[in-house]
Structure 1
Amino acid sequence: MYVSTFHDVVEWTRALHEHLARCLQHCSTQQDEERAKWLLEYLADHEAALEKVVAGFERQADPKALNTWLYDYISYKPIKPHQSCSATYAEMSFDEICQEIFDLHNQVIDFYRYLEGRTEIPATRELIGELLKLEQHEAMHLVHQTNRARDL
C-alpha cells in the first residue's frame, strides 16, 4: 500500500491489524504446541479488536487532518508484513511468537513517533498522537498478558 496522506496511514494501520488477525487465526489451527496455540488465538482476537478501534479513527477523525499529505514520509520505510500468511507462526515457539509480535508493534510505534515529530499541523499531530497512544497502550497490554501466560 502506498501511503501519501494521514488517511492512508490510518487505513494502512487498520489493514495491518486485520491481516495480522487473519494470519494469527489461520496459524493457530496448525500450531501443535498448546500454549503457543492459545497465544495465537489470543493475539488474533486482540488484533481483530484493534483493527476495529483503528477503523473508528477513520470515521471520527477530522477530515482535514486525514486528507493532509505526508511530505517527509518518503525517507521512512514502512513495515511490510508478509503479504500472505505462510503459516510461519504455526512453526514458532511461544517466545518466538511474542518476540515477532512485539517487534511488529514496536515498528508501528516507531513509525508514529517519526510522523508525530514531523507533523506541523495541530490536527494531524493530534491524530497521530492518539494513534501512538493507542499502539503504545496495546503493546504494553500484550506484554503484560503474555508475561502472565508465560508464568503459567
Structure 2
Amino acid sequence: MTKVQTAKDVIEQTKFFHRKLADFYDNLSDNVEKERVKILLEYMSRHHENLAAILDDYESEISERVLDTWFMFVNKKCDLSPFFSASINPDMTAQQVIEIAVDFDQCLLDTYEGILQNEISDEVRDVFRGLLEMEKNEKIKLAKNALKIDSM
C-alpha cells in the first residue's frame, strides 16, 4: 500500500504502536498462569513503554523542518493478526509469546526499511536510519532478555 505522510506521522504512529503493545502484553500477563510467561509479558510491556518514551525524546531532538517533510512510500504488508486476534490462553509458553513479539518487531523494521528505499532527503534518511538501528538493537536486547527469562 502506498502512503503519503510526514516523518512526524510515522514517528507518532510508531509511538502509538509501542504503547499499544505495552498494553497488549500487560493485559496478556493477567491471563496467563505460568509465572515465567507472566514475568516475560511484564518485561515486554515495560520494554515497549520505554521505547515509546525514547521515541518521545528522539522526536524532540528532530527539527520541525524534518518532521514536516512529506514523502511517499510503499509499506510492505505487515502481519498484525497476532495483535488483533492473538489466541491467548492461560497455558501459553514463553516461546509462543516471543514469536508474537518477533512478528510485531518485524513490522516496524519493514516500515523503516520501506521508507529508506525511497527518494528522501539525507536528513530524513538519517532519522529513519537511526530509528531502524534503534529497533534492530532493541529487538536483539528483547530476544536476549526473553531467552534469559525463558530459561529461569
Q: TM-score range by the shorter chain?
A: 0.7 to 0.9
Q: 1:58 to 1:85 in 2, by over 3 A?
A: farther
Letter paired with 1:67: D
Change (3 A) 1:101 1:86: closer
Number of the residue aligned with 1:145: 145
**Which residue identity does 1:49 align to in structure 2?**
N
Contact 1:79/1:108 (<8 A) preserved: no
Aligned length in residues: 150
1:93 aligns with 2:124: no
TM-aligned CA deviation for residue 77 of structure 1: 4.2
SS at the partner of 1:72? strand
TM-score w.r.t. the length of structure 1 is 0.86
Kindly indicate whether residue 19 of structure 2 is the aligned counterpart of residue 27 of structure 1: no
1:70 counterpart SS class: strand
Asked whether the 8 Å contact 1:27–1:90 carries over to 2, the reply is no
Residue 80 of structure 2 contacts residue 103 of structure 2 at CA under 8 Å; is this kept in 1? Answer: no
Q: Which residue of 1 aligns with 2:112?
A: 112
Which AA in structure 2 matches 1:110? D
Task: Provide the C-alpha distance between the structure 1 equivalents of 2:36 and 2:142, rounded to a whole number of angstroms.
Answer: 15
Query: Unaligned stretches of 5+ in structure 2?
Result: none
Higher relative contact order (Cα pairs below 8 Å, separated by 6+ residues): 2
Q: Which has the higher strand share?
A: 2
Q: Is the 8 A contact 1:24 1:40 kept in 2?
A: yes
- Report if the CA contact (8 A) 2:109-2:132 is conserved: yes
Give me the whole-angstrom Cα distance separating, in 1, the residues matched to 2:119 and 2:92: 38
1:61 aligns to what SS in structure 2?
coil
Q: CA deviation at 1:116?
A: 1.1
